[in-house]
Amino acid sequence: MRFVDLCAGLGGFHIALSRLGHKCVFACEIDPTLQELYKRNFGITATGDLRKILAKEIPSHDILCAGFPCQPFSKAGGQEGLNCPTRSA
């Protein structure tokens, strides 16, 4: 099946679905560092800001995966959890 990886982050969904035999047809990640990592790991250029993508730009797919903002929960972030002011922005 064909899948879309939105808010792709490190590519966890990509790894899992690829191992199951599925093909990524579109990826999106706003963080430039993670975009570069995604490209190096999977050979796919992840588009930037999801809020600026038109639905018609996303290829036909069977599975839609979407990560959630993990920075508020990560040790690498501010660890503000659900109190993070930008978590729903």
Active-site residue (options: 7, 28, 70, 84):
70
Contacts of residue 42, defined as CB under 8 A and 6 or more positions apart, other chains included, come to 11, 14, 18, 24, 27
Is residue 84 among the annotated active site residues? Answer: no
- The answer for residues whose C-beta is within 8 angstroms of residue 40's C-beta and 6 or more apart is none
The catalytic residue positions are 70
